A and B are shown apart, each in its own frame.
Chain A
Amino acid sequence: MDMSQYLEIFIDESKEHLQTMNEILLDLEKDVDNLSHLGEIFRIAHTLKGMSGTMGFNKVADLTHKMENVLDLVRNGEVKVTSHIVDILFECFDALEEYIDNLEKNGSEGDLDSTALVKKLADIADNKGHVENMSGKKDAPSETKTTTAELSDAFHIPLNDIDSIIKKAFEMGVKPFLIKVTLDEGCMLKAARSFIVFNTLERFGEVIKSHPQAEEIEDEKFDQSFEVLYFTKLDKEYCKNELMNISEIANVVVEPLSEDDYLLEETKEDVEVDLAHVEDQVQKVKEENQNKTEKSKTSKTVRVEIGRLDNLMNLVSELIIIKTRLEDLDTTQQKMVDQSSKNNMNEAIEYLERITTSLHDAVMKVRMVPVERTFNRFPRLVRDLSKDLGKNIKLFMSGEETEVDRTVIDEIGDPLIHLIRNSLDHGIESPDERAKSGKAEQGFVALRAYPDGNNVVIEVEDDGKGIDPEIIKRKAVEKNVVTKDAVELMNDKEIINLLFEAGFSTVDKVTDLSGRGVGLDVVKSKIEAINGTVEVNSTVGQGSKFIIRLPLTLAIIQALMVYLNEEKFAVPLNNIKEITNIDTKDITMVQDQEVVLYRNKTLPIIRTKEVLEIDHTRDDADELTVVIVKKGDVEAGLVVDGLIGQQEIVIKSLGKYLTGIKAISGATILGNGTVALIVDPNQLF
């Protein structure tokens, strides 16, 4: 049966369930005696088991089934919840998440092996919670593994009569293996299991012979193990792993046959067919794998509240009404051009304007999702990291319901993880250090989101040791990020923000978590790629705060339209600080750069016309119109010929043919149908 149509629903629902499970697990850890949490997890595991069973995802079903067993014991009070059990439950959660991720990406559960995990769960169930003694037994499965040398004697397949086939195999580059598969003691359907083994093997090569014979295996006429002679192009480990992934397999021994023994034999023709078949199979598998990687993820979707869609529908119907009204006006206008029809026209246009604005708003809202989607993985991240680091850290989150555009959500995850890791790893001190400096042992990281005008602000704050400008200064000069002279002129805030420059990483010691050389500059470029900004405030000894500002939407922005000669350009309004007039005679030259003193600060003046290659003749007007733009804390004045006004513009890409054009971030279409370019002030200075 084709399940693909249900796959998306399955993935969506599983993800929701897993999310809830994650939250409850975190709660459970804090309050291990709360039975209602356990009941909830049990219910989720049960639902997942049912769902995945129906879909035929056996690994998920298997794992959740075992989880259920343990949870049931716990619920009945037979086993007490310990941190060990919670840890294992977290591991299960991770495994489940990976299965679902794999399903989403390539439609199969992937090769993650959860047998060890299943074993741990079974151990808990068997030992009724005497888990403290269990840690030593975790490696139990590997102990029972017999060495290949011992087993090779035990192979029962006579090779003499088929050695010519084997020889031919070597010639074709196909490797023969003897494989011994041992089933679990408690395996009920031995025939079914071995059938799966054969199936798996046939996918990657060809089974030449087996002991006992295939028919006998089908009739379950064997003990716990059987052997096969197998031809494949894959290597030993791969075969083994594939087989070990099948459940209820206790052990697999793969023994390659050596080439030397068969080199001098003659060839037989009928084998060629078989080998060609093997080649075909291997080719097929390769193609399949390729398809898997090529097949993109399930398409991006947004779950939309029905109310929002209704609103959209209403607006569209109003749009249709106004269209009819305009048509109507058009015919009346042809008959008589008088004052009243003109008024009607204006009224209709105003109405139309209102509808388009609302429509824009409504469509934007449809694309909006709460930042919760990104935030909800952080409690777990902080928990795991602080455990690993031996620090006591509490995470506060607020404003999870704040909504941003779907595309922004996808992009913001990684930078946030990076910042949080930074705070945990480098920001917050170890409990000892904290006690010494008179702070509470428990550190905190706060993650806040809130809307701010046309932006959404996300803050990551910690109460750690803060960032020392002196260290940054030294490092920045050392690493040639800035010159010594330049750094002396900077204030503390500017110095701290040097952190975002490329090639800067403060930690000498590379830890597993952060400080791998790629640093905050990546965070910055990622955020800037979605038109956001990031800055940091920090007080030594008290902590640091990273502030990310993101645009609400990417497609439509407010812009100031300006003239440069006859050409019109758009400057995004959120880059503009103010507009002013400057006397030409106030401009002085400092290091080949024109500057003026404005509001007691030096303001670099940029001759926009020259930068945009319009013309290089400078008019000698006494007064210049200057648009002051800001990039973080840096400001510059753009000289323009004239101002047109503020306008809402739709951002369009210039396309692939014209990429990487300096100072231009895109284009927009004006009311008269012509194209105006959008200036990117960030690239001007």
Chain B
Amino acid sequence: MSEIKEFVTFRLNEEYYGININNVENIEKVLPITRVPYTHDYVRGVINLRGIIVPVVDLRSRFNLEPKENSEESRIIIVNLEDLKIGMLVDASSEVLQIETSEIDAAPNVKKDINNEFIKNIGKKNGRIIMLIDLHKVLNIEQHVE
């Protein structure tokens, strides 16, 4: 019996990634971001999410991709992890995909670069490949919450 899991997908360049839907609070259009000094490069700053200050992590920067201007399609995905609320800036995000657990494989461990560490599993759906990310590693939780 294979279960069905739901993932919120987003796009960076032409690649698709997925986050377990249970971690996602909502998806916002890009709000004005205020830069914060003395943080990691990948922390873009903070936004005002209906009265709550939420930090935003730029996933392009975190995945070592070249910087790019925000476009109409850019989104901030608000995720809840442990008791943190964090925004993730991505190129686009729209879909929720249902993937059967039988269609989820361990990530191939060929290249040993930083991006590979972020990918926990690979999901397949209708011939598309979705990289399922490890939020703890991507958001570098251990280092931030000491």
Q: Does A667 contact B (CB under 8 A)?
A: yes
Residues of B13-70 whose CB lies within 8 A of A = 32, 34-39, 43, 45-48, 51-55
> Which of B32, B37, B86, B145 is in CB contact (< 8 Å) with A674?
B32
Contact residues in B for A673 (Cβ distance below 8 Å): 32, 48
Smallest CB-CB separation from A612: which chain B residue? Answer: B37
Contact residues in A for B32 (Cβ distance below 8 Å): 673-675
Inter-chain CA distance A652–B52, complex, in Å, is 8
A675 touches B46 (CB 8 A): yes
Contact residues in B for A654 (Cβ distance below 8 Å): 36, 46, 53, 55
> Which of B36, B53, B55, B85 is in CB contact (< 8 Å) with A652?
B53
Binds B, one of A45-53, A61-69, A118-126, A658-666: A658-666
Inter-chain CA distance A391–B16, complex, in Å, is 77
B36 touches A657 (CB 8 A): no
Contact residues in A for B47 (Cβ distance below 8 Å): 675
Contact residues in A for B52 (Cβ distance below 8 Å): 652
Q: Does A316 contact B (CB under 8 A)?
A: no
B53 touches A667 (CB 8 A): yes
Contact residues in A for B145 (Cβ distance below 8 Å): 656-657, 659
Q: Does A27 contact B (CB under 8 A)?
A: no
B34 touches A674 (CB 8 A): yes
Q: What total of chain B residues lie within 8 Å of the partner, measured CB to CB? A: 24
B86 touches A657 (CB 8 A): yes
Q: Does A655 contact B (CB under 8 A)?
A: yes
Q: Does A613 contact B (CB under 8 A)?
A: yes
Contact residues in B for A667 (Cβ distance below 8 Å): 34, 46, 53
A657 touches B34 (CB 8 A): no
Contact residue range for chain A? 20 to 34
A664 touches B86 (CB 8 A): no
Instruction: Known A669-B48, A674-B48, A675-B53; judge A658-B34 contact (CB<8 A).
Output: no
B38 touches A661 (CB 8 A): yes
Q: Does A653 contact B (CB under 8 A)?
A: yes
Number of A-B contacts (CB under 8 A): 68
Give the residue among B45, B46, B139 with the most A Cβ atoms within 10 A: B46
Inter-chain CA distance A305–B23, complex, in Å, is 44
Inter-chain CA distance A658–B53, complex, in Å, is 11
Smallest CB-CB separation from B45: which chain A residue? Answer: A675
Smallest CB-CB separation from B146: which chain A residue? Answer: A659
Q: Does B114 contact A (CB under 8 A)?
A: no
Q: Mark A633-661, 1 if CB is under 8 A from B, else 0.
A: 00000000000000000001111111101
Smallest CB-CB separation from A666: which chain B residue? Answer: B53
- Give the shortest distance, in Å, between A678 (CB) and chain B (any CB): 11
Inter-chain CA distance A613–B52, complex, in Å, is 24
A663 touches B38 (CB 8 A): yes
Inter-chain CA distance A673–B31, complex, in Å, is 10
> Which of A656, A663, A676 is in CB contact (< 8 Å) with B34?
A676
Inter-chain CA distance A659–B39, complex, in Å, is 9
- Give the shortest distance, in Å, between B85 (CB) and chain A (any CB): 7
Residues of A564-621 whose CB lies within 8 A of B = 567, 612-614
A661 touches B39 (CB 8 A): yes
- Give the shortest distance, in Å, between B94 (CB) and chain A (any CB): 25
Q: Does A74 contact B (CB under 8 A)?
A: no
Give the residue among A655, A657, A661, A674 with the most B Cβ atoms within 10 A: A657
Residues of B89-146 whose CB lies within 8 A of A = 139, 144-145
Contact residues in A for B39 (Cβ distance below 8 Å): 658, 661
Q: Does A472 contact B (CB under 8 A)?
A: no
- Give the shortest distance, in Å, between B80 (CB) and chain A (any CB): 12
Q: Does A677 contact B (CB under 8 A)?
A: yes
Give the residue among B37, B52, B55, B85 with the most A Cβ atoms within 10 A: B37
Inter-chain CA distance A676–B45, complex, in Å, is 11
Contact residues in A for B37 (Cβ distance below 8 Å): 612-614, 661-664
Q: Does B84 contact A (CB under 8 A)?
A: yes
Q: Does B72 contact A (CB under 8 A)?
A: no
Give the residue among A567, A658, A662, A673 with the most B Cβ atoms within 10 A: A658
Chain A residues with a Cβ under 8 A of chain B: 567, 612-614, 652-659, 661-664, 667, 669, 673-677
* A-B pairs with beta carbons under 8 Å apart, 5 shown: A652-B52, A657-B84, A661-B39, A667-B46, A674-B32
Which are the 10 A-B pairs with shortest beta-carbon distances? Answer: A675-B34, A613-B37, A674-B32, A612-B37, A657-B55, A652-B53, A667-B53, A661-B38, A662-B38, A669-B48
